[in-house]
Amino acid sequence: MTKVRNKKLKESSKKWLRRQMNDQYVEKAKKAGYRSRAAYKILEIQQKFKIFDQHSIVLDLGAAPGGWSQVVANIAKKVIAIDLLDMTPLPNVQFIRGDFAEERNMQMLIQLLGNEKADAVLSDMAPNTCGIKKIDHLRIINLLEDVYNFSIKILKPGGSLVAKVFQGGATNDLLRNLKQSFAKVGHFKPLSSRKESPEMYLIARGYRN
């Protein structure tokens, strides 16, 4: 009897702690003036992997409401962002509203790069889910493949790709391609990513042209 109660307590206190942690990020983001708690994910990624610097040109795919763009624009030379949803303008960020997966929008992103290539592509996009596992999985894979194919067109040698994936998200084919195209490929789960969320980030660095 006591054991069961303790077990229950443990479960509920774990949940409580997790919620507190998450609220901390929401609170922190509000106080720091970030538009989303997601800002802390890119801050952690940047701290660990040094993806961009003051000379970098960075693409932010799935940028709204703009937490990642805020963080990157504070450091990098230029940010080009896209989202299906509108985003309130930010200094140093050129924004396109539209579906990244549409060819004409990819072309617009490339146009905004002008004659330059990008130092990093960041994708925090997640496709809408319909609840049917197979279909949702395919949507995730398609989006990731689009992000990969786009990145290898526009990245500078040595450039990086950071993309949200879900556990079991990247197929062996895609991982094989990534490992051929980039010197270092790995996964990272930021502390600020909710533990119960299956999301993690694919970190590919050292693009080989």
Does residue 36 bind ligand SAM (CB under 6 A)? Answer: yes
Does residue 67 bind ligand SAM (CB under 6 A)? Answer: yes
What residues contact residue 61 under an 8 Å CB cut-off, 6+ apart?
A: 81, 82, 100, 121, 122, 123, 124, 125, 147
Does residue 202 bind ligand SAM (CB under 6 A)? Answer: no
- Considering the complex, what minimum distance in angstroms separates the CB of residue 199 from ligand SAM? 9
Residue number of the CB closest to ligand SAM reads 62
Query: Which pair of tokens denotes residue 132?
Result: 């049917």
Contact call for residues 34 and 71 (beta carbons, < 8 A):
yes
d(CA 149, CA 107): 13
Does residue 144 bind ligand SAM (CB under 6 A)? Answer: no
> Which is closer to ligand SAM, CB of 9 or CB of 48?
48
Q: Give me the residue label for tokens 């996009």.
A: 125
Our answer to whether residue 30 is catalytic in this structure is: no
Residue 129 DSSP symbol:
P
For 130: left if phi > 0, alpha if psi spans -120 to 50, otherwise beta; the answer is alpha
Element (H, E) at 109: helix 103-113
Per-residue interface string for the shown chain with ligand SAM, residues 117-136, x marking contact by CB under 6 A: -------xxxx---------
Q: Of residues 8, 164, 184, 189, which has the active-site annotation?
A: 164
Does residue 85 bind ligand SAM (CB under 6 A)? Answer: yes
Among the listed residues 65, 92, 136, 189, the single contact to ligand SAM using CB under 6 A: 65
Residues labelled as active-site residues: 164
Chain residues that interact with ligand SAM, rule: CB under 6 A? 35-36, 38-39, 62-68, 82-85, 99-101, 124-127
